[in-house]
Amino acid sequence: MSEGNIIIVSAPSGCGKSTIINALMARGDIDMQFSVSATNRPPREGEVDGVNYHFLSDEEFRREISNDAFIEYEEVYPGRFYGTLKREVERVCGQGHNIVLDIDVKGGINVKKMYGDRALSVFIVPPSVETLRRRLESRATDDKAAIDCRVAKAEYELSFSPMYDCRIVNDNLDEAVENVHDVIVKFIGEV
């Protein structure tokens, strides 16, 4: 049995990355499983341990680092660590399934470097930085300072998008899902 391949999906926050991944998983016609990362951030309402993330204490996360359990890990927000577990990728890919990684830009670039042609890296981009700002404002979950901060971070992250194999614009959600679906199917057919 041949090993499964790796699909990396990254995007600045507010670009609909999780929605797109969830839509693809729900559609279910691509053989791929979600990589459950580890994090030391607390669960949000509705999140389930072992499903959305493996929620670890600071101490547990540090132990996993010293046990060399991660393919990669990043401090995505101050004090908040996220990491892709080797055992997760080995289990899924070892059974011949593809795995989809919802990870930040630095992590995505590192995993692509490690796996080369076995990995497809997809970057979801907003139609423009202005549209992203309007979307964040309409969610009304953040104040102006927080939105400015997210937009600045998004601009920084977008500067890395040329390092990804492909960029998909999320202007219309259904079209974006369709386009991500198509690049994954093409990749799986070619590797």
Task: Find out whether 126 and 132 touch, Cβ atoms under 8 Å.
Answer: yes
Task: Find out whether 33 and 100 touch, Cβ atoms under 8 Å.
Answer: yes
Task: Find out whether 112 and 19 touch, Cβ atoms under 8 Å.
Answer: no
Segments of the chain assigned E as strands: 6-10, 32-34, 38-39, 54-55, 70-77, 80-85, 98-102, 119-125, 166-169
| Span near ligand 5GP by CB under 6 A; candidates 22-30, 76-84, 87-95, 169-177 | 76-84
Please select the residue that binds ligand 5GP; options are 64, 104, 126, 132, rule is CB under 6 A. 104
In the complex, minimum distance from the CB of residue 190 to ligand 5GP, in angstroms, rounded to a whole number: 25
DSSP letter for 191, please.
Answer: -
| Span near ligand 5GP by CB under 6 A; candidates 100-108, 119-127, 141-149, 173-181 | 100-108
Nearer to ligand 5GP (CB atom), residue 5 or residue 10: 10
Task: Report the C-alpha gap between 32 and 170 in whole angstroms.
Answer: 21
Please select the residue that binds ligand 5GP; options are 37, 98, 121, 170, rule is CB under 6 A. 37
Task: Report the C-alpha gap between 129 and 119 in whole angstroms.
Answer: 28
Task: Find out whether 84 and 71 touch, Cβ atoms under 8 Å.
Answer: yes
| Span near ligand 5GP by CB under 6 A; candidates 74-82, 142-150, 169-177, 178-186 | 74-82
Q: Are strands 54-55 and 80-85 parallel, antiparallel or unpaired?
A: unpaired
Task: Find out whether 176 and 123 touch, Cβ atoms under 8 Å.
Answer: no
In the complex, minimum distance from the CB of residue 96 to ligand 5GP, in angstroms, rounded to a whole number: 22
Show the binding pattern over residues 105-144: x = contacts ligand 5GP (CB under 6 A), - = does not.
Answer: --x-------------------------------------
| Span near ligand 5GP by CB under 6 A; candidates 70-78, 86-94, 117-125, 170-178 | 70-78
Please select the residue that binds ligand 5GP; options are 83, 92, 99, 109, rule is CB under 6 A. 83
Q: Tokens 């899902």 map to which residue?
A: 177
In the complex, minimum distance from the CB of residue 110 to ligand 5GP, in angstroms, rounded to a whole number: 8
Residues that bind ligand 5GP (CB under 6 A): 37, 41, 72, 74, 76, 82-84, 102-104, 107
